[in-house]
Amino acid sequence: MIAKKLGVNSVLWLVILFVILSGCRSGALEYDLIYEGDRLVLNAYVFNKGVIARLTRSNHPQLPLPASFSLAVPGRVWLCDADGVIIAELEDRGDGDFELDMSLATGTGYILKASSDGFDPVVSDVVAIPEPANPLTVNFRGFDPNNNNTFLVDMAFVDIPNRKDIYFWEGHALKNGRKGDFILGYFFNEIGPQCGFYSLFYPDDCFEGQPFQFDCYIERRNMPPNNDSLRIEFGTVHPDYLKYVKSTELTGDLEQIFSEPRPLLSNVNGGYGIVLTKNVTYYDFKL
């Protein structure tokens, strides 16, 4: 009886494997996805120093990308108040990129609007910039005595009590004042999974109202003369930020291989995309 069950299971797995391999040979599994037509896609950060946005158009998931591999479209993007009244128009930097350099207030509602010829306009939900974090302390410890190709950096701050915060940080190279690649890495900490840390995002669940330190490093190849400075961006993000990052994950379980595609979190009406908020402070250091 057991042998018979094993035989049936083996046949079933062989059938599944055949379907998968057939799909791979043809380039993709046959799967009809619901597509509502070409629309504008607005992805943006609204933060205390302004707005960074990208305006593109959607592309049917079962069709190839255009020859240029670019979905950017010419258009206009506006920052508005919670009632939809225009505050300022973002500067068009070309190839779908838009920016606005303006101090924005925490706790105030903002909306982004965008339009492009041939597409319906899009409007985001009302978003608000979170409260700022306490100042960050940065300690450059020097090269690791056990690995002279790694320069050690400690970063520490004190969590604000009685307030739910999600912190984030990024470390970029600066050369002649221009922002470059990510060069600041972090050491895996066993407390991370226990406290719900997610990549460079740190919910304060495990250190509510307490000091917290995380250890980072810079590889020697990213030190001078290749780069002359380091910019650390540190601050808080709205909870939707973390929800969106998690929504982009693809399930890797074999039993989920034929499940419905997981939709991405979106707060853009009339199109696609996400408008997220953060409150950031820049810390610049000479290397």
Comparing 206 with 112, the larger pLDDT belongs to 112
Look at residue 260 and tell me whether its pLDDT is greater than 50: no
- Going from N- to C-terminal start, the domains of the chain cover 34-130+238-277, 137-237
137-237 CATH, one of 1.20.120, 2.30.110, 3.40.50, 2.60.40: 2.60.40
34-130+238-277 carries CATH number 1.10.1060: no
Q: Which residue has the tokens 């650390």?
A: 232
What is the model's pLDDT at position 6? 42
Main-chain dihedrals φ then ψ at residue 247, nearest 5 degrees? -70, -20
Look at residue 177 and tell me whether its pLDDT is greater than 80: no
In percent, how much of the chain has pLDDT > 70?
Answer: 73
The residue type found at 152 is L
The residue type found at 109 is G
pLDDT averaged over every residue in the chain: 80
Look at residue 59 and tell me whether its pLDDT is greater than 70: yes
Look at residue 230 and tell me whether its pLDDT is greater than 60: yes
Q: Which of 41, 38, 36 is nearest to 269 (CA)?
A: 41
CB atoms within 10 A of CB 115: 16
Q: Which of 100, 96, 98, 120 is nearest to 110 (CA)?
A: 100
* Range of 10-19, 83-92, 245-254 with top mean pLDDT: 83-92
Comparing 257 with 167, the larger pLDDT belongs to 167
Query: What is the C-alpha separation between 121 and 136, in angstroms, rounded?
Result: 40
Do residues 269 and 122 make contact, with C-beta atoms less than 8 angstroms apart?
Answer: yes
Do residues 236 and 278 make contact, with C-beta atoms less than 8 angstroms apart?
Answer: yes
Strand stretches in the chain, DSSP E: 40-47, 50-57, 76-81, 86-89, 91-94, 97-101, 109-115, 122-124, 127-128, 137-144, 147-158, 166-175, 178-182, 184-186, 201-203, 211-219, 229-237, 268-269, 272-286
Confidence tier at 68 by pLDDT (50, 70, 90): very low
Please state the separation of Cα 83 from the chain's center in Å. Answer: 27
User: Are 34-130+238-277 and 137-237 in the same CATH fold?
Assistant: yes
Do residues 123 and 89 make contact, with C-beta atoms less than 8 angstroms apart?
Answer: no
Mean pLDDT value of segment 243-267: 60
Main-chain dihedrals φ then ψ at residue 53, nearest 5 degrees? -135, 155
Helix (H, G, I), strand (E, B) or coil at 71: coil
pTM here is: 0.76
Comparing 71 with 143, the larger pLDDT belongs to 143
What is the model's pLDDT at position 192? 64
What is the model's pLDDT at position 61? 58
Comparing 195 with 233, the larger pLDDT belongs to 233
Q: Beta partners for 279?
A: 236
What is the model's pLDDT at position 137? 94
Q: Which of 44, 47, 103 is nearest to 77 (CA)?
A: 44
Helix (H, G, I), strand (E, B) or coil at 20: helix
Q: Which residue has the tokens 């999974």?
A: 193
What is the model's pLDDT at position 55? 94
- Residue 116 tokens read as 């492009």
Look at residue 261 and tell me whether its pLDDT is greater than 70: no
Comparing 135 with 179, the larger pLDDT belongs to 135
Each residue's pLDDT tens digit, 33-50: 556 678 899 999 999 999
Please state the separation of Cα 122 from the chain's center in Å. Answer: 21
Do residues 81 and 122 make contact, with C-beta atoms less than 8 angstroms apart?
Answer: no
Look at residue 242 and tell me whether its pLDDT is greater than 80: no
